[in-house]
Structure 1
Amino acid sequence: MSYYDFTEQEKLHMKIQLEHFQLDAHQSMELQKAFTVAKLCQVLAKTKKSNIYPFIDRIIRLVQTLLVSTAIIERAFSAMKIVKTRLCNRIEDDFLSTYLVAYIEKEIA
């Protein structure tokens, strides 16, 4: 999801929520103690502020999934680098794709 996936009205609400959230964060000791994204997400849920700031909550959840997505992609490219060496450059795409999926998901397989 990107900035372009939000409607103009949602972007306006998001900007307003961010401004209100900044003011609230300066006054809330719990929010000030949240030094990580995960802790911030927990505090928002615990204090029910995720209901007050749904866009903030949504953005934080998207940021958390981004790290997992990036790691999966990096693992896939690392596996491809191992499998596709100079000697194996002639492997056909279908075979390579099937082999890479099996290699990347070897713990499940």
Structure 2
Amino acid sequence: MLYSKARGRSCRQDKGSPTTVEHHFRVDIFTAAIDFQLQELKSRFGEQAVEFLTLSVALSPKDVYKSFEIDDICKLAEKFYPKDFNVQERFCLKFQLEHYKLDMPKHSDFQNMSTLSELCIGLANSGKSKIYHLIDKLIHLVLTLHVSTATTE
């Protein structure tokens, strides 16, 4: 493509709309770079791995549990750890998560955490791992990446 040296000007027009140098670098090249990175990620990680990571984010204590989603956490336990949580435990997990969601943001020790490993240590040190034993169990499983070999849809 031919571009003029003046910023914001074009010496070429495609179908009536000018393309500026700034637009080319800020939009066209940026979009191409993002597309390339997405293709690279897709080739390295399968759908199941991406779903696992997406659902795992729901446990994150970052930004005072901003991404905490009870339904996603229950889906994580059900889909990726069906052998580790029986039906009764999955039912109880939901209630533990509801209490946890109300309880944890109130405790100053848990407000500045940003990783699951920090959360795991904090639960153990505070004794809350006994109160929220199913959540603690799920966090341990996620941290060790023990994923069931059961096939998923």
TM-score bracket relative to the smaller structure? 0.5 to 0.7
Per-residue CA shift, 1:4-53, capped at 9, x if unaligned? Answer: 22222111110000011111112111111111111001110110000000
Query: Match of 2:86?
Result: 7
Query: Match of 1:23?
Result: 102
Structure 1 segments (4+ residues) deviating >6 Å: none
**Structure 2 unmatched runs, 5+:** 1-76, 148-153
Q: How does 1:1-109 map to 2 (within 5 A)?
A: 2-5=80-83, 6-66=85-145
Query: 1-side partners of 2:135 and 2:101: how far apart?
Result: 11
With structure 2 as the length reference, what TM-score do the two structures score? 0.41
Question: Of Structure 1 and Structure 2, which has the larger fraction of its residues in helix?
Answer: 1
The number of residues matched between the two structures is 68
Aligned-residue Cα RMSD (Å) equals 2.0
Larger Rg: 2
**Structure 1 unmatched runs, 5+:** 71-109
